[in-house]
């Protein structure tokens, strides 16, 4: 099952609140519906899977709409699978649309966007009918498709205003798509429309990815630091050997002689670890200064030659 299907299943299984049923149905109707005016005035709404069809049926039941017929057929040529078509007969189309926060032109009314809870219900219907989201383990991408750009612009504006969720709109074949690329914003969007479990999955995958990235960075840092330490240790040992050959370690003052012997005996240790061998322990800077003096002595001998 795709991640989009997982999200839809979760949304379709949510309990329907009667006060939000019409707002959610408006999302379905706006993105996948149409008004037919003829002998009988009716609305038609098509959805592509059993989950969405079940949700629409339950919404209409909650709205107490009784004059509903459901048809389905297989779209074999386009490989779209089973298509469910709802035909809802209404006595007063204008009043029916008003209750859905739509005007006679099918435009969404301002009041639907004023209450975040109502807006969230509308987006839930929109996503189930016309949304998709990529598996967060692959990359981050969520989108809504519509053949007209105006509704997507309004959604983009309100998501930014309410939650700081930023998206983009692109013109594609036969319409437009509003999309979000940021993982945290996709998580926020899914929480907003009620897909809490799916949002948690996105969150957990992002956390795992960050942990892996942090571990990789730490390992790279440790490896690079070890290479630097190893290079410095090699310089120290070469200088100590040169001084010992030319002057003898006994010629060094006691503090330098002790650190020189400790370094020769422990070439793998860092400066801090080397300092911990002494009683009392030497700080990293103290070890560095003493070894630097030996480097300077070796360099001066080399210059004189």
Q: Using CA atoms, how far apart are residues 124 and 118, in angstroms rounded to an integer?
A: 10
How confident is the model over 27-40, as pLDDT tens digits?
Answer: 999 999 887 766 67
Taking the C-alpha atoms of 6, 9, 14 and 18 in order, what is their torsion angle to the nearest 10 degrees?
Answer: 130
- Mean pLDDT of all residues in the chain? 86
Would the pLDDT of 202 be above 90? Answer: yes
Mean pLDDT value across residues 15-30: 93
Would the pLDDT of 305 be above 70? Answer: no
Confidence band of 269 (pLDDT split at 50, 70, 90): confident
Residue where the block lists tokens 């609305």: 43
Q: What are phi and psi of 259, to 5 degrees?
A: -70, -35
pLDDT value of position 236: 84
Mean pLDDT value across residues 175-190: 95
Confidence band of 223 (pLDDT split at 50, 70, 90): low
Write out the residue limits of the CATH 3.10.28.10 domain(s) in the chain. Answer: 3-194
Q: List, as one string, the DSSP characters of 232-267.
A: HHHHHHHHHHHHHHHT-GGGS-HHHHHHHHHHHH-T
Sheet holding 142-146, edge to edge: 131-133, 142-146, 175-180, 168-172
- Show Cβ contacts of residue 116 under 8 Å, excluding neighbours closer than 6 positions: 162, 192
Looking at the DSSP bridge assignments, the partners of residue 74 are 82
pTM score, whole prediction? 0.71
Q: Using CA atoms, how far apart are residues 68 and 110, in angstroms rounded to an integer?
A: 28
CATH, domain range 3-194: 3.10.28.10
């Amino acid at each position: 099952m795709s991640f989009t299907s997982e999200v839809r299943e979760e949304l379709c299984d949510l309990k329907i609140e009667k006060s939000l049923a019409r707002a959610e149905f408006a999302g379905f109707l706006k993105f996948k519906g149409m008004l037919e005016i003829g002998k009988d005035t009716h609305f038609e709404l098509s959805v592509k899977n059993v989950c969405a069809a079940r949700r629409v049926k339950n919404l209409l039941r909650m709205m107490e709409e009784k004059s509903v017929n459901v048809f389905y057929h297989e779209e074999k040529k386009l490989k779209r699978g089973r298509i469910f078509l709802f035909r809802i007969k209404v006595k007063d189309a204008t009043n029916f649309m008003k209750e859905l926060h739509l005007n006679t032109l099918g435009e969404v009314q301002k009041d639907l966007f004023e209450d975040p809870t109502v807006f969230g219900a509308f987006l839930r219907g929109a996503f189930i009918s016309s949304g998709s989201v990529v598996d967060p383990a692959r990359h981050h991408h969520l989108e809504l498709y519509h053949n007209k750009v105006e509704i997507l612009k309004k959604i983009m504006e309100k998501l930014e205003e309410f939650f700081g969720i930023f998206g983009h709109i692109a013109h594609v074949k036969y319409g437009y798509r509003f999309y979000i690329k940021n993982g945290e914003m996709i998580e926020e969007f899914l929480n907003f429309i009620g897909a809490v479990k799916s949002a948690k999955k996105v969150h957990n995958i992002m956390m795992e990815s960050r942990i892996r990235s942090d571990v990789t960075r730490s390992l790279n840092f440790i490896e690079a630091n070890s290479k630097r330490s190893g290079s410095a240790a090699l310089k120290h040992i070469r200088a100590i050997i040169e001084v010992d050959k030319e002057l003898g370690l006994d010629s060094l003052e006691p503090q330098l002689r002790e650190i020189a012997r400790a370094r020769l005996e422990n070439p793998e240790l860092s400066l801090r670890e080397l300092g911990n061998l002494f009683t009392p322990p030497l700080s990293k800077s103290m070890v560095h200064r003493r070894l630097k003096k030996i480097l300077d002595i070796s360099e001066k001998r080399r210059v004189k030659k």
